Structure 1
């Protein structure tokens, strides 16, 4: 037995190799047997809780890979052996890379699970925040990977300060090259944080209008009233003048009409009251005012204002139709008619210009005592 223990391989005895192997096999055994038990226990406990933290922890533990743990175990294992300095440094670097890569995978899985659970909750409470959570999920994971990458390089012996300075110069060049893309990315964050509009809102942008379907990292998509999809870059949206009808609590509706000139003052006095009754019969509308505003070119002009109690555009069109029909019935009962443009043509046998000239010349001759026929 002692002879076996005294055997040497690559300058290390059997006990040294056994201790090194024990580190690696022990780490793999923990991964294969202990970690699944821990995950099952936390999963059962998470079922009875309302927090998302335990669910995210389960996802993070599920992202652990046994072969990465084995590579991490190379670090303590290498210190059990008398190896060349270059070999020890190489094994230590490999273990360091595996450690930070595994840490990044677990952190990324934790963040993704956290935001996915929040997104599912938001679908029930506030669907408009789903796009914001997706963007924050992406940005958070990018930040985590960037931080862990810098920590990895620092542990490998690289000059992180010089690297950051170099990245700053390179970042300026990349930023100039990707100015539009980065501008749209930051514009999407601005939209998410400031919330000028959300998914489901009906908006008007310049000559285009539609319902917001998706707010992405670079573009926002709208569904127009005619059915096609309108795609806008987020940078353009933040620079545009935008009207959001979803944020409107009430809709103010003004409209005008005209009645014929043969209406009597007594009939005109009845018109505002009749309009008030018609609008008051609509449960989704509130009467504001109705006035006889003046005399038009071919009509007696009226102006009416009422408020829609809902921002729904379809409801507004339905109410306006009901008001129009009610006005027609009410005006028929009063005895007044809607006016329309009228043009009167006077047709005679004689040329009006010739008659006017003849009358003028006759008047001048009479003034001089001369007969027109002379």
Structure 2
């Protein structure tokens, strides 16, 4: 019968297993233990059973102890990291423990090289699977945490897609690692896949371009859902940022669908991000206006603008002589990015100017033509 000394690093566990096997050995004559089945003695099979059961119990106790400690820790903290560790530990299901215990116990038996190789391959695949699964759980945790801070449904959707792509990459790397350990020439395999990948990428060029553009929009954030933007001849409020297209609700009410590739290759004006609007106000008064009143006009305009809430006066000047009017240029700022408020303030300023000019008897100019008739000699 083989000794359990190969597991001497387990200390107490090793001694316990040896004690059980020694006890069983003392119950029957030595001849019984030397009976051979399929190239192994009865004692070896008994050792396998004892070691298998011992390690199943040990793994189960270990999992329960760690889970219990994490739950107690979770009750005393507000962090969600402990939930992540619990999910990772729970991902190691009983079949994995059973196979691991079986693998350890099988070291007591003499098996053919084919069987030994097959069991090694199964263990390799299973361990890689568990590692990739654990990394995937961490990735899910990070993505969900990031999504909890996002209000934009399109951004959440992009995070989901990005997470799925990373998961595929994880599984591909896991599969390549397994194949490499099985003796497969990975370099030639990747080269072959690369040629096929180029063909597929060429066929899906536009779709992939839109996909990467959606990631660029999410990362760079030139606009978000709810922003009022102008793209070329289109303007409206962004309603949805998808994987391939972005949908805008135009001012006329129709929905405009623009590809993400186009949005990242043209100039986009985002009015939601402006802090204030600059207004250039031009008007003309009649040439018959007395000089005293002409000189008062800039201060009149300043008083009107400063009297409107949300407007900030900048300047007002007698700009030039037009064909039919004395032109004045006024500049003021509207301290809001809301278009309706912009129009309300502009309207209030215009009405104020008209009201004061009527009171001061300052005539607004309009295009006129005076014809002089003279008699000839």
Tell me the secondary structure at the aligned position of residue 264 of structure 2: helix
TM normalised by structure 2 equals 0.75
Aligned residues: 348
Tell me the secondary structure at the aligned position of residue 204 of structure 1: strand
Question: What residue in structure 2 maps to residue 58 of structure 1?
Answer: 86
**For structure 1, which segment, 49-58 or 312-321, has the greater mean C-alpha deviation from structure 2 after superposition?**
49-58
Structure 1 residues 123 and 239, CA gap change in structure 2 (3 angstroms): closer
Using the alignment, how far apart are the partners of 2:252 and 2:50 within structure 1? 70
Using the alignment, how far apart are the partners of 2:348 and 2:49 within structure 1? 86
Question: What residue in structure 1 maps to residue 332 of structure 2?
Answer: 306
**For structure 1, which segment, 236-245 or 310-319, has the greater mean C-alpha deviation from structure 2 after superposition?**
310-319
Structure 1 residues 276 and 227, CA gap change in structure 2 (3 angstroms): same
Deviation at 1:204, TM superposition (A): 1.7
Tell me the secondary structure at the aligned position of residue 239 of structure 1: coil
Using the alignment, how far apart are the partners of 2:288 and 2:176 within structure 1? 87
**For structure 1, which segment, 185-194 or 280-289, has the greater mean C-alpha deviation from structure 2 after superposition?**
185-194
Residue from 202, 216, 227 that aligns with 1:176 = 202
Deviation at 1:226, TM superposition (A): 5.2
Whether 1:248 aligns to 2:274 is yes
Question: What residue in structure 1 maps to residue 260 of structure 2?
Answer: 234
Residue from 251, 267, 281 that aligns with 2:307 = 281
Question: What residue in structure 2 maps to residue 42 of structure 1?
Answer: 70
Residue from 99, 109, 132 that aligns with 1:81 = 109
Deviation at 1:320, TM superposition (A): 1.6
Contact 1:185 1:217 in 2 (8 A): yes
Whether 1:108 aligns to 2:136 is yes
Q: Which runs of 5+ in 2 are unaligned?
A: 1-27
Deviation at 1:339, TM superposition (A): 4.3
Contact 1:72 1:98 in 2 (8 A): no
Whether 1:147 aligns to 2:177 is no
Using the alignment, how far apart are the partners of 2:49 and 2:207 within structure 1? 51
Contact 1:71 1:98 in 2 (8 A): no
Could you report, residue by residue, the CA deviation over 1:339-364 in whole angstroms, capped at 9, with x for unpaired residues? 45567899xxxxx9xxx9xx9xxx9x
Question: What residue in structure 2 maps to residue 319 of structure 1?
Answer: 345
Using the alignment, how far apart are the partners of 2:48 and 2:269 within structure 1? 69
**For structure 1, which segment, 230-239 or 63-72, has the greater mean C-alpha deviation from structure 2 after superposition?**
63-72
Could you report, residue by residue, the CA deviation over 1:268-319 in whole angstroms, capped at 9, with x for unpaired residues? 3332222211211234221112233334455443322211223232332222
Question: What residue in structure 1 maps to residue 127 of structure 2?
Answer: 99
User: RMSD of the alignment, in Å?
Assistant: 3.8
Structure 1 residues 165 and 58, CA gap change in structure 2 (3 angstroms): same
Structure 1 residues 220 and 42, CA gap change in structure 2 (3 angstroms): farther
Contact 2:154 2:242 in 1 (8 A): no
Using the alignment, how far apart are the partners of 1:202 and 1:31 within structure 2? 59
Contact 1:210 1:223 in 2 (8 A): yes
**For structure 1, which segment, 207-216 or 154-163, has the greater mean C-alpha deviation from structure 2 after superposition?**
207-216
Whether 1:203 aligns to 2:206 is no
Residue from 94, 103, 119 that aligns with 2:147 = 119
Question: What residue in structure 2 maps to residue 368 of structure 1?
Answer: none
Q: Which runs of 5+ in 1 are unaligned?
A: 347-351, 364-374
Question: What residue in structure 2 maps to residue 165 of structure 1?
Answer: 191
Deviation at 1:15, TM superposition (A): 4.4
TM normalised by structure 1 equals 0.76
Using the alignment, how far apart are the partners of 1:174 and 1:74 within structure 2? 44
